[in-house]
Amino acid sequence: MTIVWVFIGFIVFIWLFCLRQINQYQRGVMFTMGRFSGIKGPGWRLVIPVFQSMTKVDMRVKAVDVPNQKAITKDNITVDVSAVIYYNVDDAGKAILMVENFFYAVSQLAQTTMRNVVGEVELDDLLAGREKVSTHIRDIVGQTSEAWGIKVDNVELKDVSLPQEMERTIAKQAEAEREKRAVIIQAEGEVLAAENMAKAASILSAVPGALHLRTLQSINDISSDQSNTIVFVTPVEVLKAFEGFVKKTGV
C-alpha cells in the first residue's frame, strides 16, 4: 500500500513539474523534439521535459524609446532626433521563429529608419511636419516587421534638437518675420484710413455747408473740455468779403 502512495505521489510530482501556466496576455510557442508544434493559449499547459519546450511571448503593447540619433537633413543640417515606438506581437510563432530577438530587432530597425527618413526631408519640413514624418517611419517599420509577426501601432517623434547656432538663426528669422508682419499690418491700416478720409472729404466737399457743419461739430467736441484753448482762424474768403463790404459802404 505504501508503494502505491509513493507511486501516486511521484506521478503527481511529475505532473506538477511538467505544468506551465500561461497568463491571459501571453501565448506559448510549443516545440516538440525541436520542431514547432503549435501556439498555446492562456491556462495550464503540460510540457513534457526533454521532449518538449515552450517559450512564452508577451502580447501586450510595448512602448520602446528610440534613443537620440544624429541625422543630417536634406539641406545638410545636423539634428538630434529621438522617438518612441508602440508595437505588439501579432503572431507569436513568427516572433520566435523568424527573428532571434524581436525586441532588439524592432529597436534597431526604428533607429535606422528614423535616420533615413530624416535625411529625406528639409529642416523646415521636419519641424513643421512631425506627424507626417512619424507616419512615414511607422509605415516603413511596420511593413518590414510584419514578416516577424510584429504590428506597429504608432511612432511619435519626441524631440528634435538643433545646434545652438541654428537655434539663434531661427530665432532671428522668426523675429524678422514678426517685424515684417507688423510693418505690413501698420501700412495696410494707414492705407485704409487714408481711403476712408479721402472718401469722407469727397462727401463733405460735394454737399454745400457740410464742411462748415463738420467744423462746428469739431469745435463743439473740443469745447467740452474746459482745459482746452480754442484758436479759431477765420477763412481768408470771409475777411475779403468784409473788406469789400467796407469799401462799398465807405465805413
Q: 143 by DSSP, 3-state: which? A: helix
* 208 against 73, higher pLDDT: 73
150 forms beta bridges with: 89
Report d(CA 154, CA 159) in Å as an integer. Answer: 16
Highest mean pLDDT (candidates 8-22, 57-71, 176-190) = 57-71
pLDDT tens for 33-87 read 889 988 998 988 888 888 888 989 999 999 988 888 888 888 888 888 889 999 9
**Cα–Cα dist 226/216, whole Å:** 17
**Residue given cell 463733405 in the structure block:** 204
pLDDT at residue 86, as a whole number: 94
For the question of whether the overall pTM of this predicted structure is more than 0.85, the answer is: no
- Walk me through the domains of the chain, giving residue ranges and CATH numbers: 2-58 (no CATH), 62-162 (3.30.479.30)
Distance CA 224, CA 237 (A): 28
DSSP string, 186-245: HHHHHHHHHHHHHHHHHHHHHSTTHHHHHHHHHHHHHHTSTT----PPPPHHHHHHHHHH
Is pLDDT of 147 > 80?
Answer: yes
Look at residue 140 and tell me whether its pLDDT is greater than 70.
yes
Cβ atoms of 72 and 86 within 8 Å: the answer is no
